[in-house]
Structure 1
Amino acid sequence: MKVALGTVQFGLQYGISNKNGVPTDEQLLEIFSTCESNGINTFDTAVAYGNAEERISNFLPKNAEIISKFPKTESKSDLETIILNSISRLKRDNLYGFMAHNGDFLIENPQLWEVLVKLKQENKIQKIGYSLYTTEQLEQLLEFNLVPDIIQIPYSLLDRKFEPYFAELKQKNVEIHCRSVFLQGLYFLNPEKLPEKLVPLNSELKRLQTICQSNQVKISDVALNFAYSNTYIDKIVIGIENKTQLEENINSIKNWDKNDSIFDEIKLITVNNKELLNPANW
């Protein structure tokens, strides 16, 4: 199962379409049990996700591959403390991955990379890298020769800006994780009732939803399987609020009929206001 469970919803109320709030401990137990029974053992978290690290530490399976991310920090000693505290909160001896929560943190202070390399050499972290928002970030970090073991990028039906870099990243043995396959729920919203800032996306969303309707498929199934079917992508990070949503995503992948021609139709949609595909601009 090429799915990684995102945990931001477990520490914060997050997402433009989140109406249920933060799950209870009972709900978390159901979620993690469902993960275990379906072969999902990669969990994406971050220091910035409220108390998500503490909460999930009580439910993680023994074979869990945990990836966390550090916030902006100025000094190498502070960063090492942040990472070691994160490992401690997660009740682990080491983590599968640790990343800069934003590539800008390393662009502004490339020496922080030395801390990640050091902790990797000490077997506190297996893979190091960064989470990106723009292709310019990736180009600059690679120019600095900060070649990651793992990256996380936004990738979805209308946001495919990182596609041209996939082959090069794989040549460098980079593990590619993608997030925002549903664009934080934007794809599910009524185009006629968008928040004011997102109104310029009205026509593109209408076109996307019309294509799905004419092909008699749910937009959620199309969005998830579009990313899942990309052979360059190693993990799709999905955020869920309860067990039912997780089971829906699992069934969507298992029941996809491999009719990928709809993807070609969607790729013809031109987004004029590309900056609105970044939730930071909402």
Structure 2
Amino acid sequence: MKLALGTVQFGLDYGISNQHGRVSETEINAILATASKDNITTFDTASSYGTSEYLLGKHMQATANYLGKIAPTTAPLDIENEAKASLKNLRANHFSCLSAHHAKWLLNSEHGDDNYQALLNLKNKGLTKRIGCSVYNIEEAKTLINRYDIDVVQLPANLCDQQVFDSPFLSLCNSHNVEIHIRSLFLQGALLMRPSQLPKHLAPLKATHDTLTQIASGNNIDKMTLLLAPFVQHPQISKIIIGCCSNNQLIEVINAYQQANVKQFNYQDFAIVDDNITNPSLWPA
């Protein structure tokens, strides 16, 4: 199962399509029960995701696989304490992977090497099985992989943002045994919104919506299946991190995922080379 559950919505109001704010504890219970039933065992969280870690620890079994992140403001000497505090909240003994929350914490900091060494020390102590970094683009990822011995890179990817399929990047990950995790598959929900609901700065996505709707209708499948298919099928993508605000949303994603294994279509034409659309960090506040 490539699906991993993103949990930022458990602790914070997040996503432009999220109309209900932070997910209630009752709904979290339902979401986690569905995840367990459908063999989703990996959960992406962070110390900066509000109460996400605490709620996961309260409601999940200790055998869950956690992808954690160290806050970008954390000093080298405080990294171990932060990791241990997160594990305590999660009621877990170790992370499946512990990552830097932002690449600049490693690449653009005077303490970059110290931060990396602190992560490596946690791996050597058994507090995490792997170490990695969350990045915004493949250029950051390439620089990181060439500079540090990391195990996992997490980056945004979706039908409009196809940088993950860059051949040199895939070759570099393969040669360094770096596992690829992707996030923002639905572009914070923008690719699932009704075209009439899109904010002005995302108006160019209306054409994408129209074309996807036509393809989905013509093939008698859900549009979400098309959004998932290229990434579900690609052999080098190990995890697809999706966030859900309700149990019904998760059930919909799982159903689409099961169909996405077999649906083939020409997805390359949907790529948009405009960071103002594909990079949520550049969107108007």
Normalising by structure 1, report the TM-score.
0.91
Task: Write the distance in 1 (CA, Å) between the matches of 2:244 and 2:271.
Answer: 29
Instruction: For 2:212 and 2:279, locate their aligned partners in 1 and report how far apart those are by CA, in whole Å.
Output: 18
Distance 1:37 1:193, change over 3 A: closer
Amino acid at match of 2:153: I
SS at match of 1:188: coil
Q: CA shift at 1:41, angstroms? A: 0.7
Deviation digits for residues 115-170 of structure 1 (CA, Å, limit 9, x no counterpart): 00011101011110100101221122233x21311111111111111212123212
Could you tell me how far 1:59 is from its partner in structure 2?
1.4
> C-alpha displacement at 1:190, in angstroms?
3.4
Structure 1 CA distance for aligned equivalents of residues 194 and 34 of structure 2: 30
Residues 158-173 of structure 1: pairs in structure 2 closer than 5 A: 158-164=160-166, 165-173=169-177
1:279 aligned residue: 280
Does the Cα contact within 8 Å between 1:207 and 1:269 map onto a contact in 2? no
Structure-2 separation of matches of 1:99 and 1:257: 29
Structure 1 spans left out of the alignment, 5+ residues: none
Shift of residue 224, structure 1, vs aligned partner: 1.9
Cα distance 1:33–1:194, how it changes in 2: closer, same or farther (>3 A)? closer
CA distance in 1: counterparts of 2:270 and 2:38, whole angstroms: 34
After TM superposition, list the pairs within 5 Å mapping 1:213-224 onto structure 2.
213-224=217-228
2:53 alignment partner in structure 1: 53
Q: Partner residue of 1:29?
A: 29
Shift of 1:207: 3.5
Q: Say if 1:120 and 1:217 are closer, same or farther in 2 by CA, change over 3 A.
A: same
* Partner residue in 2 for 1:8: 8
Question: Partner of 2:240: helix, strand, or coil?
Answer: strand
CA distance in 2, matches of 1:255, 1:205: 19
Q: Which residue of 1 aligns with 2:245?
A: 241
Q: Decide whether the 8 Å contact of 2:229 with 2:263 is kept in 1.
A: no
Q: Which residue in 1 is equivalent to 2:138?
A: 135
Letter in 1 for 2:49: Y
Secondary structure at the aligned position of 1:187 is classed as: coil
Counterparts in 2 of 1:257 and 1:151: CA distance versus 1, 3 Å: closer
Counterpart-to-counterpart distance in 2, 1:94 and 1:83: 9
Would you say the 8 A contact 1:204–1:271 is kept in 2? Answer: no
Equivalent positions of 1:94-113 (< 5 A) are 94-109=94-109, 110-111=112-113, 112-113=115-116
- Identity across matched positions, percent: 31
Change in 2 beyond 3 A, CA 1:41/1:270? closer
2:127 maps to 124
Q: Distance in 2 between matches of 1:257 and 1:155?
A: 17
Judged with a 3 Å threshold, the aligned counterparts in structure 2 of structure 1 residues 24 and 147 are, in CA distance, closer, same or farther, namely same
For 1:250, the equivalent position in structure 2 comes to 254
Q: Which runs of 5+ in 2 are unaligned?
A: none
Contact 2:119 2:131 (8 Å CA) reproduced: yes
Change (3 A) 1:140 1:20: same
The whole-number CA distance in structure 2 between the counterparts of 1:272 and 1:170 is: 25
Q: What is the CA–CA distance in structure 1 between the aligned matches of 2:258 and 2:270, rounded to whole Å?
A: 27
- Residue type matched to 1:159 in 2? D
Contact 2:62 2:91 in 1 (8 A): no
Q: Deviations over 1:228-251 (max 9, x none)?
A: 111111111110112211111112
SS of structure 2 residue aligned to 1:13: coil
Q: Secondary structure at the match of 1:234?
A: strand
Choose the corresponding residue for 1:198, options 198, 202, 215: 202
Which amino acid in 2 is paired with 1:220? Answer: M
Deviation at 1:225, TM superposition (A): 2.5
SS of aligned partner of 2:189: helix
| SS, match of residue 5 in structure 2 | strand
The letter for the 2-side match of 1:44 is: D
For residues 81-112 of structure 1, give each alpha carbon's deviation from its aligned partner in whole angstroms, at most 9, with x where no partner exists.
22222122212221111101111111023220
**Structure 1 position 79 matched with structure 2 position 82:** no
Determine the C-alpha separation between the residues in 1 that align with 2:59 and 2:141: 34
Indicate if the aligned counterparts of 2:228 and 2:257 stay in contact, CA closer than 8 A: yes
Q: 1:9 to 1:169 in 2, by over 3 A?
A: same
Letter in 1 for 2:154: Q
Q: CA deviation at 1:28?
A: 1.6
169-178 vs 208-217, which moves further: 208-217
Q: Is the 8 A contact 1:187 1:219 kept in 2?
A: no
Question: Of residues 174, 179, 183 in structure 1, which corresponds to 2:183?
Answer: 179
